[in-house]
Structure formats: C-alpha cells, structure tokens
Amino acid sequence: MGIRRDLAGMTTSQWGLLCGCVFVIAMGAGLGVLTPKPQRQAEIVSAFRSPLQASSPSPPEVVVIRAGRSSAPTPTTSVTTPFPICGRGASDCVIDGDTFQYRGDKIRIADIDAPETGGAKCASERALGDRAKHRLAELLSAGDFTLAGYGSRDRDQYGRALRVVYQDGRSLGAVLVSEGLARPWEGRRRPWCIT
C-alpha cells in the first residue's frame, strides 16, 4: 500500500527519472529492450566518431550508398556493376556531368557546375559535357560513395536532391574540377561557350 501511495504522489520529473533508471537497468541486464541490431550499432558509433563539416549551418544528411551492389545478405556474393549512361530502361544511371539517378531519385552534385550535353550552346560545350558525363559514370562505378547534404537547400527548382558525393573521403565534384571537366559551383551557371 505504501508503494502505491509513493508512486501516485510522484512528479513528472520523478517519473521520468524512474523510467530512465528502469530502462538503464533493463539495458544493463541484457534484456535487449530497444537494442539496435549489431549493424545499426556500428552505424551509430561511426556517426558519433565522424566530425561534422564546420562550414555547414546544420548537420548534413549522410547516406552510405553501395554503388551498383546487389542486396545479397553476404558480402562475398555482392557484385559491383557499372553506372551506365542513362538510356532506355536504365534506372541507376548518369544523366550528365553533374546529375545522376539512383534508386528513382535524381541527384544533382551540388558543389560543381558541369557543361551541358543535351542543352549545350556550342559543340565544345557538348564535347566537354560528354567527357564529364562519362568520367562521372566511371567514378561512380569505381566503388562505394557517400551523399552529404549541401547548405540549407535539400532540392533544386527541378526537384533534384542537392548532394555532395564523396568516395574514399574525396569529393567527386572536386575530382571533376581538378580534371577540367567541371567548375566549382558559384551560386549560378556561367556559359561554357567562348564567343
């Protein structure tokens, strides 16, 4: 009877403290209440260990992508397949030098501006755009990559997800810039044709 009276007279903060203690005890006893699977535990630990980018006003959304890999349960059976150039029937594919499609979503590489291919204003822009498109397909096919949020905008005016693409810790956009196939994004497009 005394325990019931004590529990009935508890404040909200006392209830919170009691529930927290019960949760900690249950976790420590190995009951597994709300315990994530081992794979998810590793993701949580790595998320706390990786530093956030100082330039970003809010923590970026980071998604680990297995490029061209099957969803097989064991790593020994997964096979890397190339990211093709978009065409008839292609789902995960490269559209142009700064845009690709993955799992039904168009991804715009947010830290660069690449020459156009379809809407090119001159032959030299189209040729450079084709080189950038094929190089991006080659880079995405090389292995796993990570998508990170860019600034405060999630999508552009065309509905494409704005992301910075990293592979082995380097920005694929920066790789394209260093190879002369793109330029850093300056907030607006500039012409590629010299008049």
**pLDDT (tens digit, 9 = 90+) per residue, 28-37?**
544 444 455 5
Determine the straight-line distance between the first and last CA of the chain, rounded to whole angstroms: 91
Per the structure block, which two tokens stand in for 79? 């096979």
**pLDDT (tens digit, 9 = 90+) per residue, 123-163?**
899 999 999 999 999 999 988 889 998 888 899 999 999 99
Q: Percent of the chain beyond pLDDT 70?
A: 58
pLDDT of 32 reads 46
Which residue do the tokens 């209830």 mark?
Answer: 15
Give the C-alpha separation, 70 to 72, whole Å.
5
C-alpha dist (Å) from residue 146 to 20, 46, 157, 172: 35, 14, 23, 10
- Residue 44: pLDDT above 80? no
190, amino acid identity:
R
Taking only Cα atoms into account, the Rg of the chain, rounded to an integer number of angstroms, comes to 24
Per the structure block, which two tokens stand in for 26? 């249950």
pLDDT of 172 reads 95
Q: Percent of the chain beyond pLDDT 90?
A: 32
Helix (H) or strand (E) holding 145: strand 145-149
Q: Which residue has the higher pLDDT, 105 or 151?
A: 105
Instruction: Tell me the pTM.
Output: 0.60
